[in-house]
Amino acid sequence: MTLLAIDDLSVDFGRHHRPALDHVSLLVDAGQRLGLVGASGSGKTVLASAVMGLLPDNAHLTGTVRFQGRDLTRLPDAAFSRLRGQDLTMVFQEPMTALDPTMKVGRQASEVRRLHTRCSAAQARAKVDEIFTRVGLDPVSQIADAYPHELSGGQRQRVVIAMAVMNNPSLVICDEPTTALDAMVQATVLALLVEELDRVDAACLFISHDLDVVSSMCDDVAVIHGGRIVETGGVDEVLDRPRHPYTQGLVATARIDAVGPGQRLPVIDDFSSTSDLVQAASEQCDTPAPTRQDR
Amino acid sequence: MPLLRAAARRLAIFIGTVVVASIVIFLIVQALPGDVAQTTLGMGATADAVAALRERWGLDQPLAVRYGQWLVGMLHGDFGSSYITGASVVSQMAPRLAVTGWLVGFSVPLSLLVAWPLGLVAAMFRRRWPGAVVNALSHIGLAIPVFFVGTVATIIFAVNLGWFPANGYVTLGTSVSRWASHLVLPVASIVVVQACFLARYVRAGFIDVLTEDYYRTARAVGWTRWRGLVRHGTRNMATSLVTVVGVQIASLLVGAILVEQVFVLPGLGTMLIQAVQARDLVVVQDVVMLLVFAVLLLNFVIDMVYMAIDPRLARGGRG
């Protein structure tokens, strides 16, 4: 059953910029783990923000994003807000800044419960304790009573994951959830994420540039380049037999062990034989970051 | 307890600064040209009479002794006596301090109460007309001096409409309703200007919040635009506002002088102007000391408020 259907989605920031997303179509089935891989600036985060309805004000969007049959692009903020955090949640890349620095994390987490469920403060708190315990935040009461700056990066990301799975969502979007963490913590947080996704039986759109992570955690993968989806398929199929030159490059550059001593490391450009692809990639890099806003 | 240690450190700095400030104020007033005793008695006074007066006022003592007497006196609540009237400075200052206190005490919270929604709307709608309107209004408010607002308010609401008295002051003890009605126009005049000023900082603070990751998180867990900004933005915005409010209160304490003049309120500012004109140096020295003390105390309190608002300052941790 199709849970999320992105159809012909284009996003641009102002008239004179190249589109950040260029006629993207993508399907996510209920319970499916879809990896979305691409270099920085390829449009991964814009895609996630577009699905969540959290694009900046100056973004211009065309196409449809259907979630459980409803077109999210036409949903008013109040109705969309009831969906966010409930059925559709997100784990962000940067655990250091993703939490309100002036509020204790236990309170921030219990908000997620109380925003969507009629319950007393005590009931919400009990739920938070339950989920915090599940995600390995120990001792629970001490951590719930801490401010974000008093926790480590790994602990903060556990809090963010706890908030994302609190209400048993049907889709969790993970935007490079482990990139900002060090290698040891990455593995445990990733394992935790998989465990929690299994438990609540949620589909996942897993955004990453790390092919190893994607192949270990996803069933299928979509490759995005220059705002376009250039290849989709099963993880094994795409990573073992990449068809698109960009994907070939991505796979080859990730295999450092295949490079002999003294040999030059492969770079993406080696594989982008078609000149328009190189052109597209370089122009993409020239596009200024769209998220910064004026004051 | 790092919080207590930090607070104790701030307190020590505060006390040290007050002492240094008192020395500076004392020396400046002493350095003013002209002999008070000579001036008081007039040009025709005999040298003996002047010397006698100097002795009575303690002006013949060495500087350090006089500074010590002044400081110890103040610590005991004795600010000395006016050279002109002979009345104790404290008894003159207390009722005037109350007037200035009411003015500032009402104006600042009300300004914040007005500035907060204005800044919120201006931030959220910064690309649309409501934001532009608020922005334009706050610029206009900034350009208009408070005494002009006061004068216009008097003409409209006191002279033409007769809703409030045009000037003067009645103490709280005499009549609560008359006390309040005399304060409405002065306080409103200050609030109009202050709210415009503060709204700009509230706006900038909220705009910062809009670009923060934690605001995006708040939206992602189900807060609507507005409620998320109010809920997760206000406290974060306040950390950047506290300093500005502190500086504003300080400048209001001294700047209330203009409003006191327009509305003929017997506040500290009026007292200071009269004392300067009469060369009543004891009063000048005491009033300036009181204002400086208030400003320093304010800075100390602001540091404490900072710690209360931003847990990162009070509770140590990994950045």
A8 reaches B (C-beta below 8 A): no
**Model pLDDT, residue A43:** 87
**Model pLDDT, residue A104:** 92
**Model pLDDT, residue A291:** 44
Domain ranges of chain B: 2-75, 89-314
Q: What angle do CA B262, B265, B267 make, to 5 degrees?
A: 120
Residue the block writes with tokens 């068809």: A243
Q: Does the structure show a pLDDT above 60 at A277?
A: no
Looking at the DSSP bridge assignments, the partners of residue A26 are A6
ipTM summary value: 0.82
B19-37 average pLDDT score: 83
A191-206 average pLDDT score: 90
**Model pLDDT, residue A285:** 46
Q: Distance between CA atoms of B180 and B178, rounded to whole angstroms?
A: 5
Range scoring the smallest mean pLDDT among A38-52, B26-40, B141-155: B26-40
**CA end-to-end span of chain B, whole Å?**
18
CB of B44 within 8 A of CB of B289?
no
A82 reaches B (C-beta below 8 A): yes
Percent of chain A with pLDDT over 90: 40
**Model pLDDT, residue B170:** 80
A228 reaches B (C-beta below 8 A): no
Are the Cβ atoms of A89 and B311 closer than 8 angstroms? no
Residue A223, classed as helix, strand or coil, is strand
Q: Distance between CA atoms of B256 and A161, rounded to whole angstroms?
A: 53
CB of B298 within 8 A of CB of B246?
yes
**Model pLDDT, residue A40:** 80
Q: State in words which class domain B89-314 has.
A: mainly alpha
At B158-185, the pLDDT tens digits run 888 888 888 888 888 888 888 888 889 9
Instruction: Work out the pLDDT band at A292, boundaries 50, 70, 90.
Output: very low
Q: Measured between beta carbons, which residues in chain A are less than 8 angstroms from residue B211?
A: 291-293
Q: Measured between beta carbons, which residues in chain A are less than 8 angstroms from residue B217?
A: 92, 98-100, 160, 163
**Model pLDDT, residue B55:** 79
Residue B220 has its nearest CB partner, among A77, A84, A97, at: A84
Q: Does the structure show a pLDDT above 90 at A181?
A: no
B233-260 average pLDDT score: 84
Instruction: Work out the pLDDT band at A294, boundaries 50, 70, 90.
Output: very low
**Model pLDDT, residue A257:** 67
DSSP string, chain B: -HHHHHHHHHHHHHHHHHHHHHHHHHHHHHHSSS-HHHHHH-TT--HHHHHHHHHHTTTTS-HHHHHHHHHHHHHTT---B-TTT--BHHHHHHHHHHHHHHHHHHHHHHHHHHHHHHHHHHHHTTTSHHHHHHHHHHHHHHHS-HHHHHHHHIIIIIIIS-SS-SS----TTT-HHHHHHHHHHHHHHHHHHHHHHHHHHHHHHHHHHHTSHHHHHHHHTT--HHHHHHHHHHHHHHHHHHHHHHHHHHHHHHHHHHHHHHTT---HHHHHHHHHHTT-HHHHHHHHHHHHHHHHHHHHHHHHHHHHH-HHHHS----
Q: Measured between beta carbons, which residues in chain B are less than 8 angstroms from residue A54?
A: 216, 219-220
The chain B residue lying nearest A98, using CA atoms, is B214
A248-254 average pLDDT score: 78
Q: Does the structure show a pLDDT above 80 at A142?
A: yes
Q: In whole angstroms, how large is the CA radius of gyration of chain B?
A: 24
Domain ranges of chain A: 2-286
Closest CA to B112 of B310, B305, B313, B312: B305
Instruction: Work out the pLDDT band at A34, boundaries 50, 70, 90.
Output: very high
Instruction: Work out the pLDDT band at A32, boundaries 50, 70, 90.
Output: very high
Is the peptide bond prior to A139 cis by the omega test (within 30 degrees of 0)? yes
Are the Cβ atoms of A85 and B216 closer than 8 angstroms? no
φ, ψ of residue A81 to 5 degrees: the values are: -65, -30
A53-68 average pLDDT score: 89
Instruction: Work out the pLDDT band at A274, boundaries 50, 70, 90.
Output: very low
Q: Amino acid letter at A178?
A: T
Name the pairing type of β-strands A33-37 and A203-208.
parallel
Range scoring the smallest mean pLDDT among A203-207, B23-27, B54-58, B189-193: B54-58
Q: Distance between CA atoms of B164 and B156, rounded to whole angstroms?
A: 10
Right CATH for A2-286 from 3.40.50.300, 3.20.130.10, 3.30.470.20, 3.30.390.50: 3.40.50.300
Instruction: Work out the pLDDT band at B315, boundaries 50, 70, 90.
Output: low
Q: Distance between CA atoms of A169 and B26, rounded to whole angstroms?
A: 70
Q: Distance between CA atoms of B88 and B86, rounded to whole angstroms?
A: 7
Percent of chain B with pLDDT over 90: 19
The chain A residue lying nearest B123, using CA atoms, is A295
pTM: 0.78
B292-318 average pLDDT score: 77
Are the Cβ atoms of A163 and B221 closer than 8 angstroms? yes
Q: Does the structure show a pLDDT above 90 at A88?
A: yes
